[in-house]
């Protein structure tokens, strides 16, 4: 069947075998049968010219990157894609798109992010893989995209600190960072949400704040209950700025620099600790206090329960009733 429609959605799809024997199935993007048939005929003609007449236009990485950014402009991660492409472009400047190999890609990523961990390098590789697959399967710019394998990622341990360590850290912080860190420890909010918090996100009478979907990593709104520690941190900033909660020398904090934070960690004798680890610390404290995984997921705004299971090992108390069965079996040993 050259074109067909599905029961749901109403869009028409093409299903054709190209001159090379490759099967192509994709949406035409239209609910109009006549327009879908025209799309089918045009696509089949393009495929025939590419294979039989070798009319494939030689494309560059720049062209592919630009088209990718235009088509993916709606993505929440588009800023990250733009930054990665900006670093990769000079490394593919003289390489035609159809000549790009897996070795080219890995070499480019190693040069674009030389000091990055494997997880970061994999994000670059995943972006390149997505662009090249688009060029093959949808844009028909290349015959075959290279197969890219990702680097092996080591599971990073959850870094958290004890309450007494947190107290020592706060004692060494610059004055403007004290309420910021206290709020992060009290709520588990991500760095961008803490630094960027505005007064119109807070209800001082109900002791709640909210993170809008476009500001949340998971892309959905988060309601944040503000405990006394959080409220004290916020109230200490009243009157300093009309729009944002936290400031430095009377101005909003731009870029959320970590120099003061890392220096305080060093002075407090706390190593291998990032600002984001304050969120891990908050979650670890709650788990150890008996808060359930489902409740922690809702409080932290995680998209899946799997993200929260990282903290489950910190509270094995619920397993004690099962482990005692061994006692009965070994009573007479």
Which has the closest alpha carbon to 275: 264, 287, 285?
A: 264
Task: Please pick, among 190, 280, 282, 285, the residue that the annotation labels catalytic.
Answer: 190
d(CA 100, CA 133): 12
Q: Which long-range contacts (CB under 8 A, 24 or more apart) does 294-299 make?
A: 299/188, 299/225
Torsion of CA 132, 138, 141, 147, to 10 degrees: 30
- Residue 217 annotated to the active site: yes
Alpha helices by DSSP H, listed for 144-254, are: 163-172, 178-187, 191-195, 228-235
Task: Please pick, among 279, 280, 282, 285, the residue that the annotation labels catalytic.
Answer: 279
Strands across the sheet containing 222-225:
202-203, 208-211, 222-225
Task: Please pick, among 217, 241, 274, 310, the residue that the annotation labels catalytic.
Answer: 217
Task: Please pick, among 240, 276, 309, 318, the residue that the annotation labels catalytic.
Answer: 276
Task: Please pick, among 141, 195, 285, 302, the residue that the annotation labels catalytic.
Answer: 302
- Residue 206 annotated to the active site: no
CB of 18 closer than 8 Å to CB of 47: yes
Distance of CA 178 to the CA centre of its chain: 27
DSSP state of 244: B
- Residue 190 annotated to the active site: yes
- Residue 25 annotated to the active site: no
Mind telling me the catalytic residues? Answer: 190, 217, 276, 279, 302, 311
């Amino acid at each position: 069947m050259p074109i067909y429609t599905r029961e749901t959605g109403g869009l028409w799809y093409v299903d054709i075998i190209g001159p090379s024997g490759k099967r192509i199935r994709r949406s035409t993007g239209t609910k109009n049968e006549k327009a879908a048939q025209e799309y089918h005929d045009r696509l089949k003609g393009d495929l025939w010219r590419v294979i039989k007449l070798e009319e494939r236009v030689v494309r560059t990485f720049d062209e592919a990157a630009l088209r990718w950014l235009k088509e993916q402009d709606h993505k929440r991660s588009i800023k990250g894609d733009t930054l990665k492409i900006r670093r990769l472009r000079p490394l593919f400047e003289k390489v035609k798109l159809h000549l790009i190999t897996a070795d080219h890609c890995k070499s480019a990523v190693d040069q674009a992010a030389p000091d990055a961990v494997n997880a970061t390098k994999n994000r670059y590789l995943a972006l390149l893989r997505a662009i090249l697959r688009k060029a093959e399967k949808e844009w028909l710019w290349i015959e075959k995209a290279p197969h890219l394998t990702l680097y092996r990622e080591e599971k990073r341990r959850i870094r958290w600190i004890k309450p007494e360590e947190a107290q020592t850290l706060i004692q060494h912080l610059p004055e403007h960072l004290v309420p910021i860190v206290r709020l992060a420890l009290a709520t588990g909010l991500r760095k961008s949400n803490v630094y960027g918090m505005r007064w119109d996100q807070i209800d001082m009478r109900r002791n709640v704040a909210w993170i809008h979907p476009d500001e949340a990593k998971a892309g959905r709104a988060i309601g944040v209950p503000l405990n006394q520690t959080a409220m004290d941190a916020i109230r200490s900033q009243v009157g300093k700025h009309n729009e944002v909660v936290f400031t430095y020398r009377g101005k909003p904090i731009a870029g959320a620099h970590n120099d003061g934070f890392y220096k305080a960690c060093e002075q407090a004798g706390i190593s291998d600790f990032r600002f984001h680890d304050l969120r891990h610390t908050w979650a670890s404290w709650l788990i150890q206090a008996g808060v359930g995984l489902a409740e922690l997921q809702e409080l932290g705004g995680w998209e899946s329960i799997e993200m929260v299971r990282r903290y489950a090992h910190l509270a094995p108390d619920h397993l004690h009733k099962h482990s005692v069965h061994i006692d009965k079996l070994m009573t007479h040993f």
